[in-house]
Structure 1
Amino acid sequence: MSIPPVSYKRHRFPRELIAHAVWLYFRFPLSFRLIEEMLLERGMMVSYETIRRWSLKFGVTYARRLKRKAAKPGDVWHLDEVRIVIGGQVHWLWRAVDQDGYILDEILQTRRNTKAAQRLLTRLLRKQGVRPRRIITDKLKSYGAAKRKLRLSVRHLSHKGLNNRAENSHLPLRKRERVMQKFRSPSGCQRFLTVFSAVRNLFVPPTTNTNALTRHNHLIQAFAQWNVVTSLAA
């Protein structure tokens, strides 16, 4: 079953410009005002508020279509959580990545306990449809307790040094957080993460790709898929 094309009706700017602005925002640590300046240098006068509205309207649509075409993830899951302050309240971003750095899922929660870890694992099992060969976490005991509650019979390695894959996956978000001067609301943060991670999964090559030619081929394929997802190839 084919996916219906994205509708750009009632937008006076061409679809190529809209998709490009949204790509710039979610792919690089750029503010709306910087993107406005970059487009103006190319002779395209678009306000930063218009770019913000495009990101809100089309970002989630693009992410949803990207996930339908997502590559098959690996069978080793790295789980980790990172502290995020939103409106003065502490939240915890729980994230799972595979051995290639592909983001499997992430969820913002107010707790850092067994219930929160169990919720992440439950979502992962439901979305992936298969159990992993191995789970790697830091020394937070909530992961082991959640695993026992779910009766998961998979190998679980708990060691600070083994979980660098998940810990490093937080760095791009930290850069964006600084550019955005922190997130305004939990729902806005979760919405941004949905698009940000989907775009990152598409364009960032697997960590095993160390050859320049392989990375270039990956990007060429990623741009081709992006054009299909944004209906630019139609």
Structure 2
Amino acid sequence: MTTLNLAVARVLKRVHYPLDVMLTCVRWYVAYPLSLRHPEEMLAERGISVDHSTVHRWGIKLLPVLEKAFRRRKRPVGKSWRMDETYVKVRGQWKYLYR
């Protein structure tokens, strides 16, 4: 088994909620500016009773594992690149834009 699979297996040991519920809740918390109580209320509206401290523990357990998995699949960026200058089409004409 790879180290990622071992880490996921360790995280999933003794869980009481389905993995899709856990991942959805952690995704809401990370992707949007929410407090820990907001995902708790959102799950309660869907009939799932969970405490905000449980959501926090899910984040502590799942986020490092997900971060490792995403970093492995992340495409490398070139050595150097700039975003402060570009050409933009304005009313059909190309204009030089410098920030």
Q: What TM-score, normalized by structure 2, do the two folds share?
A: 0.70
Between the aligned partners of 2:51 and 2:5, the Cα distance in structure 1 is: 29
Q: Which structure 2 residues correspond to residues 1-234 of structure 1 after superposition, within 5 A? A: 3-4=4-5, 6-7=8-9, 8-77=12-81, 99=83, 162=99
Q: How many residues align?
A: 82
- Following superposition, the deviation at residue 21 of structure 1 comes to 1.1
Q: Could you report, residue by residue, the CA deviation over 1:170-211 in whole angstroms, capped at 9, with x for unpaired residues? A: xxxxxxxxxxxxxxxxxxxxxxxxxxxxxxxxxxxxxxxxxx
- The one-letter code sitting in structure 2 at the alignment partner of 1:40 is A
Residue of structure 2 in register with 1:102 after alignment: none
Q: Offset of 1:73 from its aligned partner?
A: 1.9
Structure with bigger gyration radius: 2
TM-score in terms of structure 1 length: 0.32
| 1:2-50 per-position Cα deviation (integer Å, ceiling 9, x unaligned) | 6526221201111111111111111111111001001111111110000
Following the alignment from structure 1 to structure 2, what is the Cα–Cα distance between the partners of residues 75 and 32?
38
CA RMSD of aligned residues (A): 2.3
Distance 1:73 1:20, change over 3 A: same
CA distance in 2, matches of 1:49, 1:70: 31
- Cα distance in 2 for partners of 1:29, 1:74 equals 31
Q: Mind listing any 5+ residue stretches in structure 1 that lack a counterpart?
A: 79-98, 100-135, 137-160, 163-234
The residue matched to 1:76 in structure 2 has which SS?
A: coil
Whichever residue aligns with residue 34 of structure 2, its letter is: L
TM-fit CA distance, 1:77: 4.2
Distance in 2, matches of 1:26 and 1:77, equals 27
1:74 shift after superposition: 4.1
Residue identity (%): 32
Give 1:76 shift.
3.4
